[in-house]
Amino acid sequence: MRCTRPCGPGKCVILGLMLRGLPLLVTLFWAAIAPAETVQVITADDWARPRSGESLVQMPALKRTVRAYLDANAERGRRIVIRHPRGEEGVLWAEELRGWLVALGIPSQAVDVSPASTRVDALELAVTDMEN
């Protein structure tokens, strides 16, 4: 399609390129202003220590995650996602932590378990929107 406006040579081409790049620009803009997900990490060494309800609430990563969940949940529905290493050991580890969170008062439907940890020696904890 040829431009019929008297905008000068090359200007219509530049305008067309700018309009084609607009969706990418909008996407990058929204990605930049969207709140970044904060991931907390519980390593295998941290988890290997003897556990009790009292010792768990003192773990810095768990404390920060629960605080973020409670703060954000006051505004809108949120959930805690436990990302574990793949394999049976990772599943057992994540399910034990999930059980502790429920025992400490977090609703079970607000805790998800996922085999998506980027580390083989750690659980990753994140607070996300309910639909994620």
Q: Mind listing the pLDDT tens digit for each residue in 104-121?
A: 899 999 999 999 888 999
Neighbours of 51 (CB within 10 A): 13
C-alpha–C-alpha distance, residues 110 and 126, integer Å: 12
| Distance, CA of 38 to chain centre | 6
Q: Give pTM, 2 decimals.
A: 0.69
Task: Choose among 76, 71, 56: nearest CA to 123.
Answer: 56
CA distance 90 to 92: 5
Q: Domain boundaries in the chain?
A: 1-33, 39-129
**pLDDT given for residue 26 in this prediction:** 56
Q: In this predicted model, what pLDDT tens digit does every residue of 19-30 receive, in sequence order?
A: 676 666 555 554
